[in-house]
Chains A and B, each alone.
Chain A
Amino acid sequence: MATAAPQFPNVPTRGRALPAFGIVGWRWISRNPAVAITPVLLPFIFLYFLSLISPPSLLPLEIIGAMLFTMQNIGSWTLGDSAFWRIECSLQDMFVASPLSRIRYLFGIAFSNLIAMLPALVILLVLLMWVGGQHGYPFTPLAAVALFAGLFALWILFSSIGIAISSRIQTQREIWPVGNLTFTFLGMLSPLYYPISALPLLWQDVARFFPTTYAALLVQGALGITPATPLQMAFYAALLGISAIAGLAITLRLYRWGDR
């Protein structure tokens, strides 16, 4: 059986997945203006609504929530793309037959969707620095590290959840409801837009099973919005890592690549 390497000996087969999917992500948003605008506007629409109904003191916390929710929402877009390419375009068969591994495929789609979300994240970051500074929560190097660690963990975890669910979807009609239900529900259970103390006790206990909760608590603690000792911060970081790894392990088990 012929393989790509002997036929095309001068074509590199490594290190090309991320740039290729990066171009896919860029082409997708550059050809569809609403696709570029929607991920940028949606967090702000929600943030605007929340700022009207909640005390102004919660605004920095809500901006962090919008950033984490935007990152979590990449999972929904990853689910949509992956399912669309597999069901409508039958592209996954081609990827399975190529040297591309399923993990690189996952990172590729996650990366292409990250490109669409980057403008929203950058604007929210600038807003957080400005509003946080006004409310007495300066954006320190520790806050930056905590924020980027939280965003990175959620990006990987929710993209893998999205792709794992997408590999089980049978028709295009299921994509929108399944994605919407899963990611909105997960986002709502975690205290992204309000302090965890505002939730009923039972809900607080349930929320502690979700990595997004620890990402939120870690970033809120690093900025000083929700007081936390260094030991508590380390605890949140460890639980974020453990729950993310556990979630990743489960989703990779569910993720179907070439067996169907």
Chain B
Amino acid sequence: MRTEVTLPPSRPFAGTAAFLWTEVIVQSNERMAMVTSMIVPGVILVFVEILNPALISVALVGAILFSTFTMGQRVLNEAAYLRIDHKANDLYLAGPMTPEAYFLGMSFGIMIVYLAPTIFLGILAAIVVPLTLATALLLFVLAAVVWVFAASTGYVFSTFFRDNRAIWAYSSLFFNVFGVLAPVFYPLGLFPAALRPIVLLMPPSAAAALVQAAIGATTLSPGQVALAVGGLAVETVLLFAFAIYWARRTVRAD
């Protein structure tokens, strides 16, 4: 006997909260991954402390931005793992949950679980740098913007892969170029002057440059501030909108 089940049309973003808590529970069991999320910022902070302790303030605020940036790597890994290895996204998306809720629920769930190391770095920065209330607020807003950019990038990237093995290479390259090569952990002034406009258009280093300017570690011209703020805002909004569109489109394509 065949039974027809007609689901009512879902309102936009329906299911975000439910999938968010699913992802929080899943990620809470990934203790090893949580520890690993601190490894790269931890190693770089140790290197800076040993090789050039004068830069530790800049490295600490950079580590906060980098740790929110690498949450995108977790989104990439998780989205790819659920789709490729578990084939669970088909199951989730066959229900009333909307594709954008799947993307946002996953991103927020991962962010909530991986926030603890970032808060720890924030406390450390408040002691070492030290941060004024205005600088702390600026850092918070910029870290949130970097997270939106990274989560959107991670989700969109994850849809391009057919096997998990290739992801490690591509994601390592992407997150190291944007987070370690670009001046996130060191002052913008140490980066070649001719290439500074490029790194000011890369969200993690743009955010780092703005915070460095706020704590007096870097001097930015009004044009550089405009480039960093404008680039950060435009790229993040466009990429987030594209991630929502892409989440809906890839479901229809299936």
Per the bound structure, the CA–CA distance linking A80 and B43 in Å amounts to: 22
Asked whether, in the complex, the Cβ of B186 is within 8 Å of the Cβ of A34, the reply is no
B235 within 8 A of A: no
> With A81-B165, A176-B77, A184-B39 as given contacts, are A42 and B51 in contact (CB-CB < 8 Å)?
no
Secondary structure class of chain B's binding surface, majority of residues: helix
Asked whether, in the complex, the Cβ of B35 is within 8 Å of the Cβ of A38, the reply is no
B166 interface neighbour in A32, A176, A198, Cβ under 8 Å: A32
Per the bound structure, the CA–CA distance linking A198 and B51 in Å amounts to: 8
A148 within 8 A of B: no
Interface residues on B, range: 35 or more
Asked whether, in the complex, the Cβ of A172 is within 8 Å of the Cβ of B166, the reply is no
Asked whether, in the complex, the Cβ of A35 is within 8 Å of the Cβ of B39, the reply is no
A178 and chain B: residue at smallest CB distance: B32
Asked whether, in the complex, the Cβ of A53 is within 8 Å of the Cβ of B55, the reply is yes
B254 within 8 A of A: no
What residues of B have a CB within 8 angstroms of the CB of A149 in the complex?
A: none
Per the 8 Å Cβ criterion, residues 137-159 of A in contact with B are none
A187 and chain B: residue at smallest CB distance: B43
> With A42-B176, A84-B164, A88-B164 as given contacts, are A32 and B169 in contact (CB-CB < 8 Å)?
yes
A260 within 8 A of B: no
Asked whether, in the complex, the Cβ of B30 is within 8 Å of the Cβ of A49, the reply is no
Q: List 24 A-B contacts (CB under 8 A).
A: A34-B166, A34-B169, A34-B170, A38-B169, A38-B173, A41-B176, A41-B177, A42-B173, A45-B181, A48-B181, A49-B44, A53-B47, A53-B48, A53-B186, A53-B190, A54-B51, A58-B51, A81-B165, A84-B165, A173-B85, A176-B168, A177-B32, A177-B36, A181-B35
* Chain A interfacial positions (CB closer than 8 Å to B): 32, 34-35, 37-39, 41-42, 45-46, 48-50, 52-55, 58, 80-81, 84, 88, 172-178, 180-181, 184-185, 188, 193-194, 198-199
The 9 A-B pairs at the shortest CB distance, nearest first, are namely A177-B36, A54-B51, A177-B33, A38-B169, A177-B32, A35-B169, A53-B52, A45-B181, A34-B170
